[in-house]
C-alpha cells in the first residue's frame, strides 16, 4: 500500500491485515489462521464466504441496482415476506430499513417522538437511556449511549440524556447477585421517571441484555416484564435495541423474547445479513405507524436504506439460519462453551464472572475476585488479553465502556463446533496467564 495513505484514520500500533475469511476462520495476511470468535464486530452469524449468499447478491445487483427506498422491488418483497412470516413478533409488522444500527436507532427515536406528538403529547420528548449501553456512533446516538470511552473529546458536541441504572447483578449496590436486585433496579426506574416527570418522557431505549458495552450483562430475574408494566403505565414507549442480540444470537429470534417482552419498537441489524451487506431495521407496532401517518408526519429514508442487494443478502442469510436450524445450534454450542469456560476459568483469580445467553458471552476480569476491584484503566488489561489471544489463534471482541471494564466478549459464528470451543477456552486460558 502507498506510504501516503494512512489507514485507519488514527493508525493502530498493531496493524492487522487479513487476506480473506472462510467459515469461522480469518486467513491472516501472514499465512496464519485465526478463529473469529468475535464474528467481526459480533456480526458474522452464519460464517464467512457462503457462495449461496454471494450468488443471491449478484442476482440482485443485476436485477435492480437501485430504487428509492419506499418503492417495492422483488428483493424487498422477498425480505419483507421472510421477516413477517418467520422472524418478527406478530405485534411488530411495520418495517423501516437503514444501513446500520446507529441509523436504525435514530429512526426509532424519531418515530417514538413523532408518535407522542401525534398523540397530542408534544411535551413527551425526553428519551431515557441506561448507564451502561451502546446505541451507535452518530452525534445523537453517542449522546444516548452510556459509553464513556467512545465520547472522549466530543463533550461539547454531545447532548447527554437522562439515564436509569443498567441492572448489573454482579455489581448491584446491595451486594453481588442480591435477592432484592430486581426491586432495587425497578425502584431506580420508578424514581427516575418521577424525578423527570412521566409527562416529559417519550421512550426508554435499552438493550435486552447488554452487548459488548458491558459484556452480556443479563438482568435479574423478573426485571423486564415489570419494567415494561411501569413504562406502559406512564405511556413511555419501549425501544429495544437488538442490533447485537437480534436474529438468533441469544438462541431466540430476539433477546426480548427471552424475557417475554413486547417492545413498541425493536431495532436489529448486524446479524440481519450476517456481515454480507449493510442493512438494519426498525420494526414497530401498527398503531404507531397509523398515528404518525394520520398526523401527516413523514419518516425520511436514507439513500441506501433497503438497497436491493442488501435485501437479497439478508433474505438469504435469514433463510439459511432457518433451514439449517442454526438457532438450535446457538443454544447447544452456547451452553457447551459456557460450561467449558466455567470449568477451566470459572475459579481463575482474575475472573469475576462468565455470563450471557446463547453465543453472546462476556467474561469480566478483575484484579481481585473477592472484592471485585477492577484493574486500573491504564493497565489496558482487555487490550492485552485480546492481543495475546490473537497470538494464540483466536480473535475475541474487546468489551467495556471505560467505566465498565475489563471485559472480553465472545460472539462467535453459529457454525462453530467442539474444536472451536476448545480453541477458545485454551487461548483465553493462555491469555489470562499474563495477569
Q: How far is the CB of 86 from ligand PLP (least distance, A)?
A: 22
* Locus of grid cell 497470538: 391
Of 243, 272, 320, 363, the one binding ligand PLP (CB under 6 A) is: 243
Residues 108-127 binding ligand PLP (CB under 6 A) are none
Q: Does 135 participate in binding ligand PLP (rule CB under 6 A)? A: yes
User: With respect to ligand PLP, which residue has the nearer C-beta, 136 or 358?
Assistant: 136
Q: Does 282 participate in binding ligand PLP (rule CB under 6 A)? A: no
* DSSP class of 373: B
Q: Which stretch binds ligand PLP (CB under 6 A): 158-166, 191-199, 239-247, 296-304?
A: 239-247
Listed in sequence order, the residues at least 6 apart from 129 whose beta carbon sits closer than 8 Å to its beta carbon are: 135, 144, 145, 146, 161, 162, 163, 164, 204, 205, 206
Residues 359-388 binding ligand PLP (CB under 6 A) are none
- Is the Cβ–Cβ distance between 109 and 120 less than 8 Å? no
Residues 208-237 binding ligand PLP (CB under 6 A) are 211
Q: How far is the CB of 388 from ligand PLP (least distance, A)?
A: 23
Q: Does 207 participate in binding ligand PLP (rule CB under 6 A)? A: yes
Question: Cell numbers at residue 111, please?
Answer: 418515530
Q: How many Å apart are CA 5 and CA 249, to the nearest integer?
A: 37
Of 39, 101, 208, 308, the one binding ligand PLP (CB under 6 A) is: 101
Query: How many positions of this chain bind ligand PLP (CB under 6 A)?
Result: 15
User: With respect to ligand PLP, which residue has the nearer C-beta, 358 or 393?
Assistant: 358
Q: How many Å apart are CA 67 and CA 293, to the nearest integer?
A: 22
Residues 51-80 binding ligand PLP (CB under 6 A) are none
Of 82, 106, 241, 353, the one binding ligand PLP (CB under 6 A) is: 241
Q: How far is the CB of 9 from ligand PLP (least distance, A)?
A: 16
3-state secondary structure (DSSP) of residue 258: helix
Residue 93's closest CA among 349, 379, 337, 284?
284
Task: Name the H helices within 197-296.
Answer: 223-233, 286-294
Question: Cell numbers at residue 63, please?
Answer: 436485477
CB atoms within 10 A of CB 246: 29
User: With respect to ligand PLP, which residue has the nearer C-beta, 102 or 166?
Assistant: 102
Closest residue to ligand PLP: CB criterion? 101
Q: How far is the CB of 33 from ligand PLP (least distance, A)?
A: 25
Helix (H) or strand (E) holding 114, with range, is helix 101-118
Residue 390's closest CA among 428, 344, 354, 351?
428
Task: Name the H helices within 268-396.
Answer: 286-294, 308-323, 326-345, 381-391
Q: Which stretch binds ligand PLP (CB under 6 A): 95-103, 335-343, 347-355, 379-387?
A: 95-103
Q: Does 400 participate in binding ligand PLP (rule CB under 6 A)? A: no
170, burial (CB in 10 Å: exposed 0-12, middle 13-18, buried 19+):
middle
Q: Which stretch binds ligand PLP (CB under 6 A): 156-164, 240-248, 307-315, 353-361?
A: 240-248
Q: Are strands 25-28 and 33-35 parallel, antiparallel or unpaired?
A: antiparallel
- Is the Cβ–Cβ distance between 94 and 288 less than 8 Å? yes
Q: How far is the CB of 209 from ligand PLP (least distance, A)?
A: 10
Q: Which stretch binds ligand PLP (CB under 6 A): 99-107, 167-175, 355-363, 409-417?
A: 99-107
Q: How far is the CB of 375 from ligand PLP (least distance, A)?
A: 24
Of 244, 306, 386, 435, the one binding ligand PLP (CB under 6 A) is: 244
CA-based end-to-end distance of the chain = 36
Q: How far is the CB of 244 from ligand PLP (least distance, A)?
A: 4
Backbone phi, then psi, for 412, in 5-degree steps?
-70, 155
Residues 319-358 binding ligand PLP (CB under 6 A) are none
Q: Does 269 participate in binding ligand PLP (rule CB under 6 A)? A: yes
- Is the Cβ–Cβ distance between 275 and 49 less than 8 Å? no
User: With respect to ligand PLP, which residue has the nearer C-beta, 243 or 424?
Assistant: 243
Give the footprint of ligand PLP on this chain (CB under 6 A): 41, 100-102, 105, 134-137, 207, 211, 241, 243-244, 269
Amino acid at each position: 500500500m502507498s506510504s501516503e495513505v494512512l489507514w485507519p484514520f488514527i493508525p493502530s500500533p498493531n496493524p492487522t491485515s487479513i487476506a480473506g475469511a472462510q467459515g469461522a476462520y480469518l486467513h491472516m495476511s501472514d499465512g496464519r489462521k485465526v478463529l473469529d470468535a468475535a464474528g467481526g464486530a459480533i456480526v458474522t452469524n452464519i460464517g464467512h464466504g457462503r457462495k449461496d449468499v454471494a450468488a443471491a447478491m449478484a442476482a440482485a445487483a443485476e436485477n435492480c441496482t437501485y430504487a428509492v427506498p419506499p418503492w417495492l422491488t422483488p428483493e424487498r418483497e422477498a425480505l419483507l415476506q421472510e421477516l413477517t412470516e418467520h422472524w418478527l413478533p406478530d405485534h411488530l409488522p411495520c418495517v423501516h430499513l437503514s444501513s446500520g444500527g446507529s441509523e436504525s436507532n435514530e429512526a426509532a427515536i424519531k418515530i417514538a417522538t413523532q408518535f407522542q406528538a401525534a398523540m397530542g403529547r408534544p411535551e413527551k420528548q425526553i428519551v431515557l437511556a441506561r448507564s451502561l449501553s451502546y446505541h451507535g456512533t452518530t452525534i445523537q446516538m453517542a449522546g444516548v449511549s452510556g459509553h464513556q470511552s467512545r465520547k472522549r473529546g466530543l463533550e461539547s458536541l454531545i447532548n447527554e440524556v437522562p439515564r436509569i441504572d443498567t441492572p448489573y447483578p454482579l455489581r448491584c449496590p446491595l451486594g453481588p447477585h442480591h435477592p432484592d436486585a430486581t426491586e432495587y433496579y425497578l425502584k431506580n426506574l420508578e424514581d427516575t421517571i418521577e424525578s423527570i416527570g412521566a409527562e416529559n418522557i417519550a421512550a426508554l431505549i435499552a438493550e435486552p441484555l447488554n452487548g459488548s458495552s458491558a459484556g452480556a450483562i443479563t438482568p435479574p430475574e423478573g426485571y423486564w416484564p415489570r419494567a415494561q408494566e411501569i413504562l406502559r403505565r406512564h405511556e413511555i414507549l419501549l425501544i429495544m435495541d437488538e442490533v447485537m442480540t437480534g436474529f438468533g444470537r441469544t438462541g431466540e429470534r430476539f433477546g426480548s423474547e427471552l424475557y417475554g417482552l413486547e417492545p413498541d419498537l425493536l431495532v436489529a441489524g448486524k446479524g440481519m445479513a450476517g456481515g454480507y451487506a449493510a442493512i438494519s431495521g426498525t420494526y414497530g407496532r401498527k398503531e404507531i405507524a397509523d398515528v404518525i401517518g394520520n398526523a401527516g408526519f413523514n419518516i425520511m429514508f436514507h439513500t441506501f436504506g433497503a438497497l436491493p442487494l442488501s435485501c437479497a443478502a439478508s433474505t438469504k442469510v435469514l433463510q439459511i439460519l432457518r433451514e439449517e436450524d442454526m438457532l438450535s445450534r446457538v443454544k447447544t454450542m452456547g451452553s457447551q462453551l459456557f460450561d467449558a469456560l466455567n470449568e477451566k476459568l470459572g475459579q481463575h483469580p482474575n475472573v469475576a464472572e462468565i455470563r450471557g445467553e446463547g453465543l453472546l458471552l462476556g467474561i469480566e476480569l478483575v484484579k481481585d475476585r473477592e472484592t471485585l476491584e477492577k484493574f486500573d484503566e491504564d493497565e489496558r488489561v482487555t487490550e492485552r488479553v485480546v492481543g495475546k489471544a490473537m497470538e494464540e489463534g483466536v480473535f475475541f471482541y474487546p468489551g467495556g465502556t471505560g467505566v465498565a471494564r475489563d471485559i472480553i466478549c465472545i460472539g462467535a459464528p453459529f457454525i462453530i463446533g467442539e474444536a472451536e470451543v476448545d480453541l477458545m477456552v485454551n487461548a483465553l486460558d493462555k491469555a489470562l496467564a499474563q495477569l
